[in-house]
Amino acid sequence: MRAKASDGRRTFTDLARRAQIAQCAAEAIAAVGYADASMAEIARRAGIAKSVVSYHFSDKAELMGEVLRTALATYAKFMEPRMAGATSASGKLRAYLTGTADYVVKHRSLHVAVIEIAFNATSADGRPLVATMPPAGTGAPG
């Protein structure tokens, strides 16, 4: 049974471990590609047993969903101040383009992982995993 707080939500420790595993998954995917980023390889990079990964994520698809959510949240947080500072249309376009380029450099592993997942990961029914993700900001569980 996964650790839950008294209100049924995940504990701080549980969330931190999931974030660590998702980051290690992104790094593994960026280094060896989606196909070779096995749960065992991800666990090795995180310095934990494969069973710990399985405790936090029921399967690779759930973990890849978390990597995608992490990447989207990281990108949004990275871009928000850049976009907020731009007032004109050309300024916003410039902020978007330079901000995105800066993000790719600073968060290379997450960026590469998103591309690898988009082209390779499928859900249990064979659809691309990205097609099964709820829209960002809906609060829908993933």
Give the model confidence (pLDDT) of 43-83 as tens digits.
Answer: 999 999 999 999 999 999 899 999 999 999 999 999 999 99
Tens digits of per-residue pLDDT, 99-129?
A: 999 999 999 999 999 999 999 988 778 877 7
* CA contacts within 13 A on the Cβ side of 13: 5
Read off the pTM. 0.81
Q: Phi first, then psi: give them for residue 128, nearest 5 degrees.
A: -55, 135
**Cα 86 to Cα 60, 76, 78, 105, 106, distances in angstroms:** 39, 15, 14, 21, 21
Nearest to 142 by CA among 53, 61, 27: 61
Considering the domain 12-132, what is its CATH architecture?
Orthogonal Bundle (1.10)
Kindly report which listed range (6-20, 55-69, 88-102) carries the lowest average pLDDT score: 6-20
